Amino acid sequence: MLDNLPRGTICIEDIEMGMSRHLRKEVTDRDIALFAEVSTDHNPVHLDDAYAQDTIFEGRIAHGMLTAGLISAVIGEQLPGHGTVYLGQTLKFIAPVRPGDTVLAEVTVTEIDFSKRRVMLDCKCSVDGKPVLVGEAKVLAPSRKFD
């Protein structure tokens, strides 16, 4: 038995269809600058107000993968939580996230294969109730039992 699972981790044995978790995060200028630094993506649409004004976005936007990272945070910290292994992710970016926007990132269980510890999650991010990202994740959930 795994007795040292972090609090909040949901093992495959306890996952149910329709179970969901979420987080809210304001995306700040600092978040965008740090993401640019760690990812090495310095596209001026993210960092330069003057440049971004002349794009289809008419202003700076956060990196799409920064927004997608919030989905990863929900999966890795809440559902299933620590010990989860990402197997795959699809993403569709619907609208931009701008500095100062508060993103609601949500995941919901849509399929469970208990024998293989596989879980499919519907993933979405929204700002002010409007979708900005949708997708699906396939993960390997932690278990209380050793394989």
Domain ranges of the chain: 12-28+62-140
Instruction: Look over the chain and give the mean of its residue pLDDT values, rounded to a whole number.
Output: 94
For 84, residues 6+ apart whose C-beta sits below 8 A from its C-beta are 75, 76, 139, 140, 141, 142
pTM over 0.75: yes
Give dist(CA 88, CA 48) in Å, integer.
32
**Tens digit of each residue's pLDDT (9 = 90 or more) over 6-47:** 567 999 999 999 999 999 999 999 999 999 999 999 999 999
Architecture in CATH of 12-28+62-140? Roll (3.10)
pLDDT value for 129? 98
Question: Does residue 4 carry a pLDDT above 60?
Answer: no
Query: Letter for the amino acid at 48?
Result: D
Q: Cite the beta strand spans of the chain per DSSP E.
A: 20-26, 85-93, 102-113, 118-127, 130-140
